Structure 1
Amino acid sequence: MYRLLIVDDEAIIADGLCEVLGNIREVELDVYKAYSGQEALNLLNRTRIDIVLTDICMPEITGLQLLETIRSKWPECKVIFLTGHSEFEYVYTAIQNDGVSYILKTEGYNKIIETVINTAGKIEEDLKKSALVKQAQEQIVTTKSLLQTIYLRGMLNDELSLSEIRQQQFDELEIPLSVKKQVVMLAGRIDDIPKGTPYSVKSEWFLNIKYIAEKYLSSKTCFAYLNHDNSTLIWFIQPAADEDGQPGEGAWNDMLTFVKGVAELMQESFWNSTGKSISFVLDDTHVGWKELRDRYFTLKMLLNYKIGKGEGRLLSDTTLLEKDFQNSSVMGKGGLPNRYRTDDLAEILENGTKEDFLACLGKLTEKLLKAQSMHDIVAVEQYFAIALVILSYINKWNLTEKIAFKISIYQLMNLEYHESWKYAVEYLKQLGGILFEIQEGEEEKRAQDVIGIVQKHINDNLHMQDEVSLIRLAEIVYFNPSYLSRLFKQVTGTNLSDYISDCRIRKAKKLLESPDFRIHEISEAVGYLSATNFARFFKKVTSMTPQEYRDSKLIK
């Protein structure tokens, strides 16, 4: 899906283009409109736009001035100018810029539709280019990059003293960040890497996303990259500025908006290059270098905080976990025993399946089942190593009360309640299965809750077009628009745009059945400022004009 912004100070033109382009089927568009350059800037400050279709001559802020801002904020955005013959000098200036085209106003809707479709195709071609993949394959990891990784990993794990975090060290390792400034972290993880994927293939994926990030982030930020554990990818990001002091809140907010938009481009580019999805969590708090470890744990938990199927997410609100953990004092920061590779079991509980869990548990308990006595201290140690992983997971996700209705939790840490190691292992299998059932239910419930919030907001605000736009709905639930659109379809089986149209039709029909409301009032009540556009929309869906529908009901 591509975001298209239409800008024209003549409302009738903007409304008409919005309606026509919103109904084309050759390419999926999320269409927005603005009646002035300033209104367009307000939207561009909130979110990434892929294509801007704008008039050149407008009062206060012209199309060319708007182009300058677009190039500054969203360099990859394509711009299409609508122009008259008398504006050729403006056009000549505009087309000196890459990614800019123009259409004469006299060429009509068909030419505009064709140009928008071609522009969307150009964006898709750019995302599919394999140059980034080739570059990633040809790059050799240098000694300096290895030292960078060791240093950043040590800082993230809180292994460095404050005296070791020095600008001189940053400069020597070519880390392009300032020790004096705070930092924001972006965490990412490639979704569903198949078991047995060769290390060389995974390395290509990691290098691919690294160079994609460099392409898109470098224009507006300073950042350093860390592949933390061959699973979690971390970017340490600061606003690109010359001053040594702390950037103002405005600079941080602008940077967060930019990084969120760029993260979506990274997801699209990575998908087009590799066919794999990647999820991101962007910290909403800038912190000092010694606070990174705690923030990292929060981001990693959010990466594991699944909603629906949880692929290709972009979360930007770290308070999402507060509801789940408001009664929990355990956040899972302690170490886990690894003598029997229980770290694998912990990872499976977070990211795997019930089948993976049972297979891993089978390996971990293979020798335990051969123990002759329930007092075999090696077997006891192994059992409790496994039990502690499970207990840590239960506490981490605050699941004690949910489990209590399904199985006796006190048996987990009390061996005397098990007649033999066979019964003890069977108990662990049952408990593990219950954990996965609970978490699957929780993921589905979270998805239902999110969609419920979105549906309520739509029904409460049908009269306000901006409030039911995909961008605004995504802001309400702290998702990126593309992920919300996919999640809505996944949960309801209906496209979000179709749901909004259905809500408008239902409300319009209800109001039309009453003689107390004029048609232009009904039009405004369902979000159409123009009664003509409302009538066209209503007839397209129902095959009747609003007046014909009203007459048919009043006659009965």
Structure 2
Amino acid sequence: MYTLLIVDDEPIIADGLFEVFQNLNTLELNVYKAYSGDEAIEILKKTRIDIVLTDIRMPGMSGLQLMEQIHRQWPKCRVIFLTGYNEFDYIYAAIQYKGVNYILKTEGYDKVIAAVENAVEDIEKSFRLDALIQEAEKQMDAAKELLRGNFLNGVIKGRFYKNEINQRQFDELGIELNASRDVIMLVGRLDNVPKGVPYSERNRRIYSVSLIAGEFFSSSVNYIYFTDENSYLIWLIQPREGQDAGENVSWRECLTFVMGIIELIQKSCMESSRISVSFALDDSPADWIDLPDRFNTLKMVLNYRFGQDSAMLLAGRGVMKEDLKDIQEKAYEKLSTNRLQFEMLAETLEYGKKEDFFALMDELTGNLKTVKSIHNTVALEQYSSIALVLLSYINRWNILEKVAFRIGIHKLMRVDEHESWDDAVKYLYDLGSILFEIQEQEQEERAQDVIGLIQKHINDNIHIQDELSLIRLADLVHFNPSYLSRLFKQVVGMNISDYISDIRVKKAKQMLENPGIKISSVAESLGYGTATNFTRFFKKMTNMTPQEYRDFVNAKIKDTP
């Protein structure tokens, strides 16, 4: 939907054009009018204007002066001048500007409508300009490294579903790895970085390590390097294409090569830059979707110290031996305790993404239901994390009473109230469904309340044109005008302008049925400046003039026995 502003110091012209465009069916327009350049400027300050239809010569601020103000405020706005025959100098000055057109006042409404339609078409074409797309591509190239890092961090933190980690995404981000092959993860960490080291110095050290590692890796394996928010250095590695990734020997050779290279990287970092680095290398290739668990484990490995040596080189999760084995047996890897997944769960609930919410719930609770002991602490952590997401939402939106009427809320933070983990999971699903139902109900109620207020204001102020403008109505409820327009149509089933016209027709009919009320009084009471404008509007809506309708009603009354 586009916005049209009509500016003319002659009210009869401004009002006439306003009625024509407000009732035009071929274009979806929000129409405003102003009787001076200064009044137009006030409207321009309040809302985006796409097209201005203005007289070129007006007292006070001329159309040309107004155009300069328009282009400062809304550079993309199209301007159409209404001109007279003897205004060549004005016209010549106007057409020097891009996006400016002119028509003669004597050419009639059809010509004016055609000019506005052409302006709309021109705006739509501008949205598809190749130059804008090319500029966006340049900016994407400049930001690709940042986007690549964000994406890879999302992968290792479980932000993506398996189908979102694909070759097309890799190619777009310049990730020179095969999305259909497994990958080896290497994680590094700077050792003994003194407290208070400036951010720039820490980054310099990290960059030095990445350059040195790149020199050793570049000719022998395919890899991608990035860091996370905690300054862990991460490499994802695959054998060069041509080696058969389906054979274990290929992966063994790759692991052996990387293990040997890491020692050289550590030595080079220390000798060239006095930087001590510890590494933990995964002991087997992993599917991309399994990288969050591998990353968490390798971080644990890096913090699983042996003796006083600062720079460690640890190959695989096996270095933790029985400790890691015990953790795995306690379902650490089967049950997700990744905080980012719970953040995603909270986001899907907050944004009303019901399908995504329950898909994530399936992931988070799939293995939880299989845990036998209700006292399993890892299962308790997982359940409590989900429960806190739901409780936080309930508190934030102050809906405890509404929830409590539909489900026993006391069970939410009390695992002992459930007979089994299967029973506990079912409770979480039931509560989640209730929250979405309440969310949808409240959204509908809020929309009805807002639109009800707008409808009441329209009915109470149908005789005051300024009170019925989209800007004024949007101000009442603190909405963007375009958003209010869409919401009104969604709730009521018609545009605001159609609703206003409908109310005016109903009130006009009621008043015309009273022979004691003059037609000019009806026009004035409905906000029309002249009986002529009212007559034009009424005939368009009913196919009868006001007098014809009055005669029709009177004849009907006489015929009634």
Partner AA of 1:487 in structure 2: L
User: Which amino acid letter does the alignment assign opposite residue 25 of structure 1?
Assistant: N
C-alpha contact 2:22 2:497 (8 A) present in aligned 1: no
One-letter code aligned to 1:406: R
| Unaligned stretches of 5+ residues in structure 1 | 151-192, 206-228, 230-336
Structure 1 residue 145 displacement after superposition: 9.3
Q: 1:230-249 to 2 correspondence within 5 Å?
A: none
Quote the offset at 1:453 in angstroms. Answer: 1.3
- SS of 2:372's equivalent in the other structure is coil
Per-residue deviation, residues 112-158 of structure 1 (Å, max 9, x unmatched): 221111111111111222322222223355589959x99xxxxxxxx
Task: Rate the CA distance shift 1:82–1:339 in 2: closer, same or farther, 3 A.
Answer: closer
Secondary structure at 2:31 match in 1? strand
**Equivalence for 1:367:** 367
Residue in 2 that maps onto 1:95: 95
- Tell me if structure 2 keeps the 8 A contact 1:511–1:522: yes
Q: Deviations over 1:43-100 (max 9, x none)?
A: 2222221111111221111111111211221111111111122111111111111111
Residue by residue, what CA displacement relative to the aligned partner does 1:187-225 show, whole Å, maximum 9, x if unpaired? xxxxxx9984969779989xxxxxxxxxxxxxxxxxxxx
**What is the Cα deviation at residue 362 of structure 1?**
2.3
Secondary structure at 2:89 match in 1: helix
Partner of 1:8: 8
Give the whole-Å Cα distance in 2 for the aligned partners of 1:443 and 1:96. 50
Q: Name the CA distance, whole Å, in 2 between partners of 1:508 and 1:112.
A: 29
- Aligned in 2, Cα 1:467/1:421: closer, same or farther, shift over 3 Å? same
Residue 353 and residue 203 in structure 1: after superposition, are their counterparts in 2 closer, same or farther (change >3 A)?
farther
- Give the deviation of 1:429 after TM superposition: 0.9
The residue identity in structure 1 corresponding to 2:79 is: V
Cα deviation 1:504-532 (Å, max 9, x = unaligned):
01111122222342221211221211111
Distance 2:400 2:456 in 1: 32
Which residue identity lines up with residue 456 of structure 1 in the other structure? K
Q: Which residue of 1 aligns with 2:322?
A: none
Does residue 65 in structure 1 map to residue 65 in structure 2?
A: yes
> For 1:244-284, what per-residue CA distance to the aligned partner results, in whole angstroms no more than 9, with x for missing partners?
xxxxxxxxxxxxxxxxxxxxxxxxxxxxxxxxxxxxxxxxx
Cα 1:197–1:112 change in 2 (3 A) is farther
1:446-465 to structure 2, matched below 5 A, reads 446-465=446-465
The two structures have a TM-score, normalised by structure 1, of: 0.64
What's the secondary structure of 2:407's corresponding residue? coil
- Give the whole-Å Cα distance in 1 for the aligned partners of 2:170 and 2:90: 49
Say yes or no: does 1:134 pair with 2:134: yes
Asked if 1:484 corresponds to 2:484, the answer is yes
- Equivalent pairs counted in the alignment come to 384
State the match for 1:512 in structure 2. 512
- Contact preservation (8 Å) 1:137, 1:204: no
Which stretch shows the higher mean deviation, 463-472 or 500-509?
463-472
User: Which one is further off, 404-413 or 51-60?
Assistant: 51-60
Name the CA shift for 1:30/1:356 in 2 (closer, same or farther; >3 Å): closer
What TM-score do you get using the length of structure 2 for normalisation? 0.63
Query: 2:142 and 2:6 mapped to 1: Cα distance?
Result: 47
The verdict on how the C-alpha distance between 1:367 and 1:397 changes in structure 2, with shifts beyond 3 A counting, is: same
Q: Distance in 1 between matches of 2:42 and 2:469?
A: 14
Q: What does residue 55 of structure 1 align with?
A: 55
Q: Which residue of 1 aligns with 2:219?
A: none
The structure-2 alpha-carbon separation of the partners of 1:145 and 1:453, relative to structure 1 and needing over 3 Å to count, comes to: farther
1:217-366 alignment runs, 5 A limit: 338-339=338-339, 341-366=341-366
| Structure 1 residue 375, shift from structure 2 partner | 1.4
1:468: how far off? 1.0
| Structure 2 residue aligned with 1:546 | 546
Structure 2 equivalent of residue 166 of structure 1: none
Q: What's the counterpart of residue 470 of structure 2? A: 470
Q: 1: CA distance between counterparts of 2:377 and 2:162?
A: 37
> In 2 relative to 1, CA 497–204 (structure 1 residues): closer, same or farther, beyond 3 Å?
farther
Aligned partner of 1:406 in structure 2 is: 406
Counterparts in 2 of 1:473 and 1:140: CA distance versus 1, 3 Å: closer
CA positional deviation for 1:554: 4.0
- Structure 1 residues 200 and 485, CA gap change in structure 2 (3 angstroms): farther
In 2, Cα distance between the equivalents of 1:466 and 1:18? 13
> How does 1:381-392 map onto structure 2 within 5 Å?
381-392=381-392
1:311 paired residue number: none
Counterpart for residue 496 of structure 2 = 496
Aligned match of 2:238: none
Distance in 1 between the 2:105 and 2:372 partners? 88
Provide the C-alpha distance between the structure 2 equivalents of 1:143 and 1:536, rounded to a whole number of angstroms.
57
- More displaced, 462-471 or 516-525? 516-525
Query: Residue in 1 aligned with 2:287?
Result: none
Provide the residue aligned with 1:419 in structure 2. 419
Deviations 1:474-517 (A, max 9, x none): 22222222222211111111122111110101111122222342
* Alpha-carbon shift at residue 458 of structure 1 (Å): 0.9
CA distance in 1, matches of 2:139, 2:365: 43
The residue that corresponds to 1:185 in the other structure is none
| Structure 1 residue aligned with 2:308 | none
Going from structure 1 to structure 2, the CA distance change for 1:106 and 1:372 (only over 3 Å counts) comes to closer
Alpha-carbon spacing, 1:203–1:106, altered in 2? closer, same or farther (3 Å):
farther
SS in 2 for 1:128: coil
Structure 1 distance, partners of 2:365, 2:118, is: 59
CA contact (8 A) 2:387 2:413 kept: yes
Kindly indicate whether the alpha-carbon contact (under 8 Å) linking 1:340 and 1:364 is maintained by their aligned counterparts in 2. Answer: no
Task: Supply the distance in 1 between the matched residues of 2:60 and 2:172 (Cα, whole angstroms).
Answer: 49
Counterpart-to-counterpart distance in 2, 1:362 and 1:345: 11
Q: Give distance in 2, aligned partners of 1:420 and 1:92.
A: 83
- TM-aligned CA distance change 1:119 to 1:401, over 3 Å: same
**What residue in structure 2 maps to residue 536 of structure 1?**
536
Supply the AA of the counterpart residue of 1:59. P
Cα-to-partner distance string for 1:20-54 (whole Å, 9 max, x where unaligned): 33333332222222222222222222222111111
Per-residue CA shift, 1:324-371, capped at 9, x if unaligned?
xxxxxxxxxxxxx74483222212212253333333222212222222
Contact 1:462 1:526 in 2 (8 A): yes
**Aligned twin of 1:42:** 42
- Cα 1:91–1:43 change in 2 (3 A) is same
More displaced stretch, 36-45 vs 19-28? 19-28
Q: Residue type matched to 2:515 in 1?
A: P
Q: 1:362 to 1:42 in 2, by over 3 A?
A: closer
**Kept after mapping to 2: 8 A contact 1:136/1:204:** no
Structure 1 pair 60/358, CA: closer, same or farther in 2 (3 Å)? Answer: closer
Q: Is the partner of 2:4 in helix, strand or coil?
A: strand
Q: Which has the larger radius of gyration?
A: 2
Q: Which residue of 2 aligns with 1:291?
A: none
1:23 paired residue number = 23
3-state DSSP class of the match of 2:127?
Answer: helix
- Give, in angstroms, the shift of residue 405 of structure 1: 0.9
In structure 1, give the amino acid aligned to 2:435: L
